[in-house]
Each structure stands twice: as structure tokens, then as C-alpha cells.
Amino acid sequence: MSNKLTIEEIHNLYESGDATPSEIVRTTLEKIEADNERLNAYLTINRENASIAATAMDADIRSAVKTKPLAGIPVVVKDNLCAARVRTTCGSQILGNYLPPYTATAVKKLEDAGAILVAKANMDEFAMGSSTENSAFGTVRNPINTDYVPGGSSGGSAVAVAAGHVPVSLGSDTGGSIRQPASFCGIVGLKPTYGRVSRFGLVAYASSLDQIGPFATSVKDAARVLTAISGHDRHDSTSVNEPVPDYLSALTGDIKGLRVGVPPECFGEGLDSEVKASVEAAITRLKDRGAEIVEVHLPHTKYVVAVYYLIATAEASSNLARFDGVRYGYRTEDARSLSELYRRTRDEGFGAEVKRRIMLGTFALSSGYYDAYYEKAQRVRAMLANDFAEAFNKCDVIATPTAPTPAFKVGEKSDDPLAMYLGDIYTVTINLAGVPAISIPCGASSAGLPIGLQLIGNHFDEARLLNAAFAYEQ
């Protein structure tokens, strides 16, 4: 498979008889294995299972292409998405050899649509990070320039697409973990509305914020994957029973009269000048295609990082309590008491950033501090959601930068967690409000590093959001 083939291009190869799933999967696996020492993007390569699935599809691939939207397409998924009997680590030593007995709904839907799982992608441990430097299995490198990070926490999934290994992959987005790596790697990354895609089989970080979504080389491919993985799931009480449109058919490219809201709060202090210029130029190009540019306000933006890192860490401290060395995962040796078993297992199994966030969250939920921190953060979260509701009374989509800077160098922010957290300022608010957003490439810095434009939509309005992104992409 040559670099950055789309789903449609692979299907054309199948229909013309110029390739078979076995050939595509074999080439994909060879590329993954050849590049992984340099990029460190993969934790488990699913060679045997992928080869068996591809061979089974060879005979009837031409007919399968007509009935299955992802027939014979190799895919990669982030290593916090379970696949039955395939190692799932979450980038952590505490789950270093975990083999889940079931498959995540989103992964199963990919496979039901004909996709072939070729690998599990490296990630920040338990999705906690913005650079994929926090993995217990080493730092992931940006394929555009390996001195730089790919973003996080879904860095491996972004690299899989940016390096041309697969046309699409899955990541999870709790505060920007799909969109920011998409921006840093120069690809498309979509975070759907909360509840649009089932979270069953996604190892939880912050349950009210987590959402699964696609990386892709094009908006069309992101639309194909979103259609395949969306829908209500009885295994996930937070998935919403809303009809799933055919998102691909919504991509007309016609945005005449589309109201694009631009919030000045997202173009001020801390925004890199090259990022600002690229995003403003992208907004002008939307206007040239017929969109109407309107000013909207998100007045509580200055509080988003503080609110996010209270709510997310509080939920993490609760969710990660299950990793105690008793039922599954890593277990310390020779503990003399139950409390020592818990303490040593968690101390040895978790990395520094995960420990930091567990402690922050436990403090925010502790007696005497709950009202002052967690409860107050939830009240401000409601105000942030209201900001979006009021903005969408005046516009159809909102345009902002995805990240305040292009990709930074490996190690540049490792000793400054606050600087790392502030890099999430334009993405975390979308998770707090539960609305969908997409990052699409809109330029490059003078150093040749990609810059992303973030478009934000109203709840369950992914069709219009994707069409706006498609119009810009054209």
C-alpha cells in the first residue's frame, strides 16, 4: 500500500482486481513493522488475526465492497479500546499483559463493516497526556519530524494515518486527544457528540468526557467511519438513541449561507502568531466559499483548563480505583497485607502523570474540599455549556485554532505539567459541553509543522460540521 491511500482508492484496487485484502494487509503490516522502531507508534501488531481475516475476504471482496463500507480496509485502534484476546495495555505497566475477553462496540462495528484490525496503537498512559510521552512503553514520534511529538493522548493512532500505514484509525478524546494529534500530524480528527458513539469497551479515563472518534486522511473517510461506529448501544447507558445519518451523503461542499462563528476569546494571549495567521486565512477561505462570518462569544473560556483538570482528574481517581492487583492486571509480589498490596501495586504499576492526576482528583473529592473544587467546577461547566448554546443561536459552526502552537519538541514540556495542560485550552471546552468538533489541516509553520483548524458543531449536528470541513478541504 502506497502512502495515504483513501478508502475509496483501496476499494477501486479491489474492484479492478489490482489488489486483494491479503496483499493490502501484508503490505500494511510490513510498513508498520519497518517503521515502528523509528516511530514507536504500535504496542501490539495483530499479524495472525489480520492475515486470517484478510484471506477469508479475498474470494468475495468485489461483492463485499458493494455491501460493506469498510470492506478489506486495514485499521488501527488506540490501545484503550478492547479487542477480544488481543493485548490491551492503555499504555500502562499495570495492564501490560491484559487480554480482554470481549471487543469494544466501536471496534466490533468497524469489523462488522468489513475493516481488518492490524494493530493497537501506543498512547499516553490511560489517555492522560498531550504528547504521547507518558506511555510506559516509550515516546511516540511525529512522522513529519521525529524530533517532535505527535500530540496526545492518541498519538499512535494519529501517526498510523499520518505515516500512511492505514487510511483510518480510532482514538479516544477526553479533552482534545483526537483533535490535537490530528493538528500536530496534519490529518483529519473528529470528536463526535458525547453519546453518539458507544463507550462500551473503552477503558475509562473520565466517563462524562470520553468519546471515541476517527482519524483519517480525508473528511470523506472520517464520515465513512463515523457512520459505521455511531448508534445506540444497550451496553452503554450514555449512548443516545438518535438516528444515524449517512454522513458521506451529507458532503455536498455547498456552504453558501453557513454561519461561521468566530470567538475573539480564542484568538488572544498565548496563541502562536503563525497558527493565528493560518486559522484566520482558513476562515477567510470559508467566507470565499459562501459562508457568513459572525462574531460570537464564549466568555467563560478563561476557566476551561481549571474546570477540566478538576472534573477529569476527579473522575479518573474513581475510575482507576479498579486497578488494585486483585482481579486482573499487574500485581506486586510478596505483599504482607491487603493495604500493602494495593499501595505497592499501584505505585509500581502507574506512571508519574497518572499518579499526579489520581492525587489531584482524590484531593478535589475529599471531605472539606468537594464543595470548593469539584462542585464549583461542575457549576462552571454548566455555564460553559450555556455559552455554546447561546453561540449556536447566532451561528451554525464555530471556528477556532485546534491548538495554540504547532507540535513541540520531544522533552520540551516534560518538566512543566502546567504548560502542557494550557496547550489544551481550545479543545477541553468541547468535551465539557459535549458538542462535536473536527480538526482539519489548514497550513504549516515556518518549520514545516502542520497547523489545524478546529470547527465545532451543535449537539448531533455532525453532518453539517463534516460538510463545512469538507468544503474547506476542497
Is residue 116 classed as helix, strand or coil in its secondary structure? Answer: strand
Q: Which residue has the cell 520531544?
A: 410
- For the chain, give every domain's residue range: 7-250
- Please name the amino acid found at residue 352: A
Cβ-based neighbours of 73, under 8 Å, separated by 6 or more: 7, 10, 114, 115, 116, 166, 167, 168
Question: Which tens digit of pLDDT belongs to each residue from 288-322?
Answer: 999 999 999 999 999 999 999 999 999 999 999 99
Distance CA 374, CA 230 (A): 31
Q: How far is CA 430 from the centre of its chain?
A: 13
Distance (Å, whole) CA 277 – CA 284: 11
- For residues 112-141, average pLDDT: 98
The predicted model gives 1-10 an average pLDDT of 82
What does the pLDDT read at residue 205?
A: 98
Name the catalytic one among 169, 177, 317, 439.
177
State the pLDDT at residue 383.
98
Lookup: cell for 8? 475509496
Q: Are 192 and 159 in contact (CB under 8 A)?
A: no
One DSSP character per residue, 304-354 reads: HHHHHHHHHHHHHHHHGGG-SSSSSS---SS-SSHHHHHHHHHHHHS-HHH
CB 245 within 8 A of CB 436: no
pTM for this entry: 0.97
198 noted as active-site residue? no
* Residue listed under C-alpha cell 522533552: 411
- Residue of 129, 425, 208, 165 whose CA lies nearest to 302: 425
pLDDT number for residue 1: 40
Specify whether 273 is catalytic: no
Phi, psi of 31 (to 5 degrees): -65, -45
153 part of the active site? yes
Grid cell in block for residue 314:
476527579
Which of the 8 DSSP states describes residue 236? -
**Alpha carbon of 334 to those of 95, 108, 344, 349, 351: distances in Å?**
19, 39, 10, 15, 21
Give me the catalytic one of 22, 153, 218, 439. Answer: 153
One-letter amino acid identity for 41? A
CATH number for the domain whose boundaries are 7-250: 3.90.1300.10
Residues 130-178: pLDDT tens digits?
Answer: 999 999 999 999 999 999 999 999 999 999 999 999 999 999 999 999 9
Lookup: cell for 41: 507508534
Catalytic residue among 22, 31, 68, 78: 78
- Give the chain's mean pLDDT: 97
For 218-260, write each residue's pLDDT tens digit. 999 999 999 999 999 999 999 999 999 999 999 999 999 999 9
Give per-residue pLDDT as tens, 15-34: 999 999 999 999 999 999 99
Which cell goes with 177? 486527544
pLDDT recorded at residue 85: 97
Residue 117 forms beta bridges with which residues?
Answer: 75
* Residue 8 pLDDT greater than 50, yes or no: yes
Residue 201, all three cell numbers: 469497551
- The predicted pLDDT at position 2 comes to 43
Question: Which are the contacts of 359, defined by CB distance < 8 A and separation ≥ 6?
Answer: 317
